[in-house]
Structure 1
Amino acid sequence: MDYVTLNTGAKMPILGFGVYQIPPEETERAVGDAIALGYRHIDTAQYYRNEAGVGHALKASGLPREEFFITTKVGTSGYRDTKHQIERALRHLQTDYIDLMLVHWVMSDYHGTYQALEEAHREGKLRAIGLSNFNQRQIQGIMAQFATVPAVLQNEMHIFHQQNAMREFTKEKGIQFESWAPFGEGAHDIFNHPVIAQIGTKYGKTVAQVILRFIIQEGVVAIPKSIRKERMAENFAIFDFELSPADMAALRHLNEDRGLFGWNN
């Protein structure tokens, strides 16, 4: 497993396991399978309604808490509601601290939300805090008002929407970029894309493995999701090869700078 170092000094696994759209009743089993395969970075959210399943899987693993990097996200607007949600997340995840908590999206009082996260960060309940689905102007507004620079920005990023301008911006600000939807939700029949498939053949790897390898070689954290153990294993098997500069250039050339929903965050 490879790691990135956050602006807090913490090490974050560059590959994680996402649980978006995994039903609550399946989450404990899916996360347990991922842990058994070697995943130690788990990404959940209040909105997913499966934080408790993640917590049960972590406890059932029998592994020390410090082996895991746990991310969750809050969708609450304002200071008071967010303070309550932080405590709820700690209970659901059965932990004394959360490695990373993100503001999930821009809501009416996201400054109040960030204030609550910053306070919990100072108290040690949150080891790092950050943002998701924010644009540059909004990030700059947060940085102008608060002392704590976001540690992570989690936005849409995949082969067809490579976020070059945003990634350059976050790099300048010391913010780690993280990709959601690393497979582009299957857009453009991505798993049968001839350029990616041809590159995969050279390395004896699948299209999914080439995509994830490209993302992590770009220095971006990826959090693919699957409920199938064989697919989880496939996604995890990307640390035994490296894409050549020519292949990286060919994959960069597939960028269309268009998000799944028409935005460019």
Structure 2
Amino acid sequence: MTSEDGSSRRGLTRQGFLGAALAASVGGGAAAQATELHRRPIPASGETLPVIGLGTWRGFDVGAKPAERTPLREVVATLLAKGGKVIDSSPMYGRAEGVTGELLAGLNARERPFLATKVWTSGHEAGIAQMTRSLQLLRTDRLDLMQIHNLLDWRVHLPTLREWKARGRIRYLGISHYTESAYDAVEAVLKAERLDFLQINYALDDRAVEERLLPLAADKGVAVLVNRPFGGGGLLRRLGSAPLPDYAPEIGCSSWAEILLKYVVSHPAVTCAIPGTADPGHMAANLRAGTGPLPDEPLRRRMAATLPL
């Protein structure tokens, strides 16, 4: 998941009157509800997850210097303090797993995060070795979710994941992909295998999964994690200084980033979006998008039809 480029989000936030007006328009109990993250159930268990999480691609592939680590510590602390849980990583993200594990160990968070990572190699023994290493780097003896990244050698890894789940080394298993050309293969695996999770890219300018994959996931009882909810970062940059649409106050949004996230998490098949960021302020803004009113279906259609590109 891409880290948000600072320049692509500065200037996207309108003056704070929208958020203030929303807060002023609701009373005590409603105001409290408006600040709580929406949650969605994992169909396989009924356990619920907050709809906004954190991806660690690029942003968490850093060294040990305080200037690199301090903002990331604040990002993770903000996520957990404001009710988020899901943190997603991968061996292909460089040092991200190890950095995530060290940050969590240093925070001593009261709430246990929902840790997800991936296996991304070929061969039975290599897969076991890589997953064992991920447990070590993330400093845990049990992972919440292990995903077969990009379906690489999935027929070999899936039996191992089932065995690990039976033994309690992982709680859930799934697959991930981000290339539209692979969607037929993803669809075939979803139809043929019993899975707990699918991680896939989905954004207001990247809606191919709406046609078949999201309905199929819902039909099969598969939870969905969404990567690249900002269109890989390019969508925010293209929006630039475009004025916010007139429906922004209706759904409590004061920035394009919040609008893009609210579109994604308002799809009923989506369990959690995992935008990446290394900026604590962006993390807080992302979490705000998981609160308050969400677009209904007529507004979702309007959002897709009127996106200024």
Common topology (TM > 0.5): yes
- Quick check: 2:54–2:87 contact (8 Å CA) kept in 1? yes
Mapping of 1:124-139 within 5 angstroms?
124-133=168-177, 135-139=183-187
The whole-number CA distance in structure 2 between the counterparts of 1:40 and 1:29 is 20
- Quick check: 1:5–1:11 contact (8 Å CA) kept in 2? yes
Of 216, 219, 237 in structure 2, the residue corresponding to residue 172 of structure 1 is 219
Aligned to 2:62: 24
Of 199, 204, 214 in structure 1, the residue corresponding to residue 247 of structure 2 is 199
240-249 or 152-161: bigger deviation: 240-249
Aligned to 1:261: none
197-206 or 90-99: bigger deviation: 197-206
Residues 219-239 of structure 1: CA distance to partner in whole angstroms, max 9, x if unpaired?
Answer: 322111111111111111120
Query: How big is the alpha-carbon RMSD for the aligned residues of Structure 1 and Structure 2?
Result: 2.5
Of 106, 109, 133 in structure 2, the residue corresponding to residue 63 of structure 1 is 109
- Quick check: 2:89–2:116 contact (8 Å CA) kept in 1? yes
Q: Secondary structure at the match of 2:233?
A: helix
Residues 91-124 of structure 1: CA distance to partner in whole angstroms, max 9, x if unpaired?
Answer: 11111111111111132x2211122211111111
The whole-number CA distance in structure 1 between the counterparts of 2:58 and 2:281 is 18
- Quick check: 2:52–2:86 contact (8 Å CA) kept in 1? yes
232-241 or 135-144: bigger deviation: 135-144
Give the length in aligned residue pairs: 250
The whole-number CA distance in structure 2 between the counterparts of 1:118 and 1:55 is 24
Q: 1:90 to 1:204 in 2, by over 3 A?
A: closer
TM-score under structure 1 normalisation?
A: 0.84
- Quick check: 1:192–1:207 contact (8 Å CA) kept in 2? no
Mapping of 1:1-265 within 5 angstroms?
1-9=37-45, 10-22=47-59, 23-25=61-63, 28-37=69-78, 38=82, 39-49=84-94, 50-64=96-110, 67-107=112-152, 109-133=153-177, 135-141=183-189, 144=192, 149-162=194-207, 163-164=209-210, 165-188=212-235, 189-192=237-240, 194=242, 197-200=245-248, 203-219=252-268, 220=270, 221-238=272-289, 239-253=291-305
Residue type matched to 1:172 in 2? D
The whole-number CA distance in structure 1 between the counterparts of 2:262 and 2:121 is 34
Aligned to 1:259: none
Unaligned runs of 5+ in 1: 256-265
Unaligned runs of 5+ in 2: 1-36
Residues 33-71 of structure 1: CA distance to partner in whole angstroms, max 9, x if unpaired?
Answer: 12322332111111112101111111111124x621111
Q: Secondary structure at the match of 2:229?
A: coil
Superposition deviation, residue 168 in structure 1? 0.8
Residues 145-203 of structure 1: CA distance to partner in whole angstroms, max 9, x if unpaired?
Answer: x5xx2111111110012211210111111112221110002335443385864433554
Q: Percent identity among equivalent residues? A: 21
Q: 1:210 to 1:141 in 2, by over 3 A?
A: closer
Superposition deviation, residue 136 in structure 1? 4.4
TM-score under structure 2 normalisation?
A: 0.73
Higher relative contact order by CA 8 Å / sep ≥ 6: 1 or 2? 2
The whole-number CA distance in structure 1 between the counterparts of 2:220 and 2:243 is 33
Superposition deviation, residue 30 in structure 1? 4.4
